[in-house]
Amino acid sequence: MFKFVLKRIGISLMILFFASFLVYGLTVHSGDPLQDLREQNDQNRQNRIDQRIAQMRLNDPWIVRYWDWLRGILGCARLQCDFGSNRSGQDVNNLLANAAESTIRLVLLATILGIIVGVFFGVMAAIRQYSGFDYAVTAIAFVFYSLPAFVFAVLLKEFGAIRFNNWLAAPTFNLIFIVIVAGLFALFCQAIIAGEARKRLIVAAAAFLGSAGLLQIIDVTDWARNPIAGLWMEIVMGIAAAVLFTALLASLSNKRAILSTLGSAAAMILLIVVFSSQLEDPTWSFLGLMLLAGIVLAVAISLTFGGYAKRSIMWASVWTVISINFAVLVDYLARHWADYYELVRGRPISTIGSVSPNFRGADDFWLSLMDTTTHLILPTLSLTLMSVASYTRYTRSSMLEVLGQDYVRTARAKGLPEHTVMTRHAFRNALLPITTIVAFDFASLIGGAVITEKVFGWKGMGELFETALKNVDPDPVMAFFMVTGGIAVLMNMLADIMYAYIDPRIRR
């Protein structure tokens, strides 16, 4: 395995080298970096032209300039990267640090959400092949897949921000809206549940009544502007996650499994109660340590009381703890929602930028996180839904192919529970092609982020690349290439390594 990894690393470095040579050459020959100065009638024009020629070293052959740039990049091996300077003399290292932070935060979140949601719906569509749910998921996936990034981003700005902010001024639901939303949710729930028509009808009725009642409660209590937050969020999430992950990874009929996951949830909630004062104004390191402590407790409880299926129960408990920590974030953000609403003057969902300029709540952890989150919602949703479409289609296709294999039929013939057949036999083998898609999709999302950032006014990698290319300024362009191309190559290398882990035969 070690030799396999070293070989992949060597191949990846060679690809980066040849690609950087090609991109640098294309950039320096893409236009005239002095064009804007040549078109001026300023008396000092020639002096400014000479200064820029000296700053950009335009009298040197581009091969020499590339070699000097490459030497600066090789300094990364000593943790002393030098990405050069732009045509104005600004250090590209500083420009890149600010731009990359915004873009990678956006793309990484979109990728994670796209994988989780897309793989889930792809698996469910494969299990319910040729059902109404399958046809609906397929149709929606094709719509999102075919929509151009800029069109979807503009629609989100209009309906997800401008009109939603207008609605928040007087947040009410009329009866028609409640019936339509509850009906769609009921159709979705009954489509996921397998079984006879009577069972699906009961699920649909329960989903309709539950969602309609929830919307009515939100309407009456003015929850959209003053959310009812509290420990109940963590408790409800803990119970729901314990039941869900036990059903998926173990079995609800296994009493040790459900008791272990519920015990892990109770331990995590106890930690939240004990450290409630610190949670009022925490740090990311404190939240990380609390999550780590919850995971350690979950593993200990599972190994002690898990019985014969300790590994499956352990993973169910760990995911339950992670879900509760997510509920903590939602809970405390909801507690600060009303304050944030006042600070942004009733326009909480932003249509431009990655942070609010001169935000008065920047010193408060939760208000600062709220500001960052609300700016992330629309661009992340734009990238996520396009990513979900591809993951759904590929996951469905891969699962259908695996479900037709002999070893899956053998597992069912041996009498194994259906969830065991799906998770341990079918899903793991279906992951092989999905691993490749993850690598390529991450790179394509960075490309899509350039357009999305333009629509939402983000100061990220897209703006850095666009400005540098327009100015025929190679150093910032190469900085963009090294981050985006490096991540793409890294993801493909990790995909090859994951191949070898999932299927040991590939190592040979």
Tell me how far apart the terminal alpha carbons of the chain are, to the nearest angstrom: 9
268 and 335 fall within a common domain: yes
Q: Is residue 43 part of a domain?
A: yes
User: Are 264 and 244 in a shared domain?
Assistant: yes
For residue 447, name the pLDDT band (cuts at 50, 70, 90). low
Query: What type of residue is 295?
Result: I
Query: How many CB atoms are closer than 10 A to CB 112?
Result: 13
Cβ proximity of 23 and 477 under 8 Å? yes
Expressed as residue numbers, the domain containing 86 is: 2-96+460-507
Are 261 and 332 contained in the same domain? yes
Q: What is the number of alpha carbons within 13 Å of residue 400 lying toward its C-beta?
A: 13
Residue 409 lies in a domain: no
Residues 6+ apart with CB under 8 A from 160: 349, 377, 378, 381
Res 284 pLDDT > 90: yes
120, part of any domain: no
Higher pLDDT, 422 or 184: 184
Distances in whole angstroms, Cα of residue 134 to Cα of each of 124, 127, 137, 460: 8, 9, 5, 38
Band of residue 244 on the pLDDT scale cut at 50, 70, 90: confident
Of 180, 196, 221, the domain-final residue: 221
For residue 145, being part of any structural domain is answered with: no
Q: What pLDDT shows up at residue 195?
A: 65
Residue 91 phi, psi (nearest 5): -70, 120
- Tell me whether residue 413 is in a domain: no
Q: How many domains does the chain have?
A: 3
318 within some domain: yes
- Per-residue pLDDT band for 152 (boundaries 50, 70, 90) equals confident
pLDDT tens-place string over residues 40-66: 887 788 888 888 888 888 899 999 999
Judge whether 435 lies within some domain: no
Last residue within a domain, chosen from 275, 310, 345: 345
Q: What is the pLDDT of residue 12?
A: 78
- The DSSP string of 327-376 is HHHHHHHHHTHHHHHHHTTT--S-SS-SS-TT-TTTTSHHHHHHHHHHHH
